[in-house]
Amino acid sequence: MAKEIERRFHLKDDSWRGLTEGEWLKQGYLSVERERTVRVRIKGEQAWLTLKSNISNVSRHEFEYPIPLADAETILAAMCPLLVEKKRYRILHGGHLWEVDEFFGLNEGLTLAEVELAGEDEAYARPDWLGDEVTEDPRYTNAYLSKHPWPSWGRD
């Protein structure tokens, strides 16, 4: 069974910029509930359907399946009125891959970092540019941001 364990953080500064090139992601949600989400994502010329269910604030079951790009584009246009658009930067630090998401569109101005772990208690080295942890705040999930854009609930 697929399992995703990740921690999410604000960034305290822009010193991470220039460490890597980013890639554009566009995603929409067919189901946005804390207990389960269904997402369609496009990255470049590839697309996926992803299903997630909550285990804890840090862990989720995650199942991801490639789908035809044309299908993903149709699903996003026809069934997902609120999209999450972001540029993702992948940065290797301390033996872990960090993903920094710079949001655009309705969530413009928000930038978050996340790291996937093998276990909820796994130790990891914190990059200097990492700010406060927001893993336990469900507002910072992409699913929540799709329905409640960040500027509508204020900047932290």
For residues 60 and 51, is the Cβ–Cβ distance under 8 A? no
Direct distance between the N- and C-terminal alpha carbons of the chain, in angstroms, rounded to an integer: 36
- Tell me which residues are annotated as active site: 29
In angstroms, how far is CA 88 from the centroid of its own chain? Answer: 9
